[in-house]
Amino acid sequence: MIHVKTTITRPDADVVSALAAFSSATIHEAQGRKGALSSRIKPIDRSMSFCGPAVTVRCAPQDNLMLQVAIHYAEPGDVVLVGAGEYTEAGTFGDVLGNAMKSKGIAAMVTDSGVRDTADLIELGLPVFSANVCIKGTVKETLGPINHPLVFGDEIIYPGDILRGDADGVVVIRREEAEEVIALSQARDDAERELIKKYHDGGTTIELCKLTDVLKAKGLLVEE
């Protein structure tokens, strides 16, 4: 088995930039309510946000050997995505590796395990998304695959897929669907802005969401 694939197809930078203009929730809804990673995966600071192609890594639980290998091979703008079997009682990533990533221009770190040194990571300014914060240490023992398809957060992620993360969570966009998703996300954004304007102009939820017939069919009774 080849453990590390160093060549992956990445999306164009302008595609990544265009997707970064939309929230994770907007993209999830726009592409047909798909692609949302597990809600357990959250930023260590709500101001953190990223968008970039995935470099996929599988680590053994409580073992960050292949994470360190992935950092070596990752390129500027990449998002290092680490699946460790959802084992959260380990601090698999901290400020030292954070500085290694930051110095290479890596866009973000996402893991279904735990991280530590969060105050230093927040100050560093590297977006870090994880399933937990944990001070427990790790070993460096077990080989695993890099840039192979990875089951992560209830989704399958392929190397080069685009990950968009913000305060609400992380969504994956297939690289080959990205252009369509940009258009769909823009259309949804435009529609929501118009709806918000109508609310401020005095419109009501039942009227604007076209709920009159729905509620009647369900037998809603209102007492005045």
pLDDT, one tens digit per residue, over 175-185 is 999 999 999 99
| Alpha-helical runs (H) found in the chain | 13-19, 24-30, 65-73, 95-104, 118-124, 178-200, 205-208, 212-217
User: By residue range, what is the domain housing residue 70?
Assistant: 13-175
d(CA 180, CA 100): 35
Q: Are residues 166 and 128 in the same domain?
A: yes
Residues 6+ apart with CB under 8 A from 216: none
Q: Are residues 198 and 170 in the same domain?
A: no
Number of domains observed in the structure of the chain? 2
Q: Are residues 61 and 121 in the same domain?
A: yes
Q: Are residues 92 and 164 in the same domain?
A: yes
Q: What are phi and psi of 150, to 5 degrees?
A: -130, 125
Closest CA relative to residue 54, chosen from 123, 189, 153, 187: 153
Residue 7 lies in a domain: no
Q: Are residues 39 and 80 in the same domain?
A: yes
pLDDT of residue 200: 97
Residue 100 lies in a domain: yes
Residue pLDDT tens, the chain, 224 long: 789 999 999 999 999 999 999 999 999 999 999 999 999 999 999 999 999 999 999 999 999 999 999 999 999 999 999 999 999 999 999 999 999 999 999 999 999 999 999 999 999 999 999 999 999 999 999 999 999 999 999 999 999 999 999 999 999 999 999 999 999 999 999 999 999 999 999 999 999 999 999 999 999 999 98
d(CA 40, CA 209): 31
d(CA 8, CA 46): 30
Residue 42 lies in a domain: yes
Q: Are residues 93 and 203 in the same domain?
A: no
Q: Are residues 114 and 190 in the same domain?
A: no
CATH code at position 71 = 3.50.30.40
pLDDT of residue 224: 85
Q: Are residues 188 and 170 in the same domain?
A: no
Q: Are residues 192 and 81 in the same domain?
A: no
pLDDT tens per residue across span 87-113: 999 999 999 999 999 999 999 999 999
